[in-house]
Structure 1
Amino acid sequence: MQLDTRAQTLLKALVERYIADGQPVGSRALSKISGLELSPATIRNIMADLEEMGFVASPHTSAGRVPTPRGYRMFVDTLLTVEPIDETALESKMQARLQPNSQQKIIANAAQVLSSLSHFAGVVLTPRRESIFQQIEFLRLSEKRILLVIVSPNGDVQNRLLLTDVDYSPAKLVQAANYINQHYGGLSLDDVRLRLQGELRKLRDDMTWLMQAAVEAGSDAMTDNSDEVVISGERNLLSVTDLSSNMDSLRKLFDMFEQKTSLMQLLDISGKATGVQIFIGGESQLVPMEEMSVVTAPYEVNGKIVGTLGVIGPTRMAYERVIPIVNITAKLLSNALSHS
């Protein structure tokens, strides 16, 4: 939804003031800080329009207004002015912590850097393990139940149960396994998936389902438990009143850190995009609390995106300061991992 210049200026001023002091912002304060020569009555009218459009809300205990999740989204997408920072000084400060050594240590240090610079929680989704297989087998268990056996190059064995609509004979299962092993053995399952898109048209239809099922189930089997979320600075969030003001908020906060499921989904989704992404509580179901936001960016190894990192903090965070911290950390982590 488009806002005129006056409405944008007032919304920007309101969000910035609310981020700074956490108190509802009234029309009198906005007339002083916005730089607009408008009467209090005109400001009240514009604020009433912004409230009707869902960008601000009025707490019952105050005549002032606070930004809604939609207001924060408008702010970070179109109104935010990112602070110019001394990138060289920041990089030199961070590089000492991200010197190439073990991958595990570099990632742990990256989470600590994000936490210490933002004063919130730093989080890193570790690189996804490449799902390379050496060979597979299909074993007929019953009429429409097949056991998929995947053997990795180092001898690890993973099993997955496939439920089929067709009763495949043992001979057909051997034929399908031989085809896959002969043509694709030693490749990653992601590479196999790409090649199959063009090659399945040439295969007989009764093999097509088996091929696709093997790739999908194999990918799930070989990446199970390979993604890990490294978190640093959780205790910082306990001192943020917005996130720990009551027992319900604390429970949601600890559930997120303990279970990590929604956090991993969020980081996985943000890894499919480029650049910094901002997830705002109240508009994203992946963020468990309306008072919480997560600022993320993907990182790479040798030019290929392999994971995501970010900062978890209150919705009322200084985005203009956190965004460059996340962005630069992602670049430095990419460089450190590419040379480790």
Structure 2
Amino acid sequence: TPQEILAELKKVRYPGFTRDIVSFGIIKDVEVAQTGVTVIVTATPNTKPETLTQISADIERTVGAMAGVPAIKVEIEQAAPPRGGSAMPSRRTIPGVEHVIAVASGKGGVGKSTVAVNLALAMAALGMRVGLMDADVYGPSVAMMVGAGRQVRVTSQRRIVPLERFGLRYISMALFVGDDTAVIWRGPMVTKLESEFLFNVEWGNLDYLILDLPPGTGDAQLTITQRVVLDGGVIVTTPQEIALLDVKRGVAMFQQVEVPVLGVIENMSYYLCGKCGHRHEIFAHGGGARFASALNVPFLGEIPIVRQIRDGGDTANPIVVAEPGHPVSATFKTIAAAIITRLAQSTVDQQA
């Protein structure tokens, strides 16, 4: 029956995401006849041919393996754009914000938020006007790392005023709930809050807004990439193979939604012994650079394990501002400068 076919299709992931193709809304119809099954897929003008090829192959493999299916056919139909509009949700810009950069990771535990905070502060140290949005609703950590309290104000127009510390404007779910409060929300509530943080916060004039995405490649990430114009994405990973497998997913996610991948940052690359100076490669080494090369995206740099990074996160005094002369702070500034230069060149190329 069509219902049984749809149940199987829910096992097929949309390329680059953890979300299935049924919940993505691209399955227009399933026709079951004695001669076989026809699955009709709706494609938007923005869908890449290679994506459609993979979806078709995955559907044929999944449905073809079902008992009682003599043949499977996949038909692709182009969606008609709504009158006066685009077939895809329109991506909006944020007034006053020049560039929006998403910092992502394919999995949790790689230090993505620590990197996002210090990267934002490194840009500020280079003279940029920077904002930081904590998009991880279930596990917000930016507020603790920056530490500006919970004095969130709302304007008379019911717009949220971000907090500011170290010259960095930021907003986080943690500012609205207690430290011990679990956020138990369904997807629609999360995506609505993310839209509020993007478009109903008084960001003011910013050169860069850094988005600290939640780990993974699910609904929350998809919502952001579809609703706001992103200038680029940065992938954070650790060197070991299990983490690097998820780098592919992160890169694929950005590529599927046509967001340029600005590069890969390898966090926890190595540990330097404070007594003997020996370099311990606890999680192996060089995987980030190797994968970046294989995926043809820039490798932005290595961040080692040092006590000052952990201390900075725990005491709301990140290493870039606490110890600006530290080699790790210099590395963050070098990475920030590389991103700034790349986006500046991209802007020049677009205007040429």
TM-score band by shorter chain is: under 0.3
Greater share of residues in strand: 2
Over alpha carbons, which structure has the higher Rg? 1
TM-score norm. by structure 2 comes to 0.22
Greater fraction helix: 1
